[in-house]
Amino acid sequence: MTDRIELTGLRAHGRHGVYDFERAHGQEFVVDAVLELDLAPAARSDEVTDTVHYGELAEKLVAVVTGEPVALIETLADRLLAVCLAEPLVAAATVTVHKPEAPIPHTFADVAVTMRRTR
């Protein structure tokens, strides 16, 4: 599949982490989602019903990030993938969860987990 919808840099505050203070105070998470699907029907019809409404997808992804806390960003990424693959037109999805404020005692730019799943 060569057609993709990319939603990148989606920011939301979540309470995910291994440590109690991460769950108590929370932090910003950044999500990138890449959906693989056939976009030809939408290109021909010019109808949003023939594609994935990325505004609605963003709302669903934010609900996961702001929802029930998990310890690992791997678990969070898996839950976000489930949301992406729940879209009937999606053949495969890749999700990256960035945790730029991770409690690492050294200077770093980012830590992220990327997972890809197909139907």
Task: List residues with catalytic annotation.
Answer: 99
Sheet arrangement for strand 27-36: 4-14, 27-36, 92-98, 112-118
Q: Helices then strands (H, E): number in the chain?
A: 4, 4
CB 10 within 8 A of CB 58: yes
Q: CA triplet 24, 76, 112: central angle to 5 degrees?
A: 95
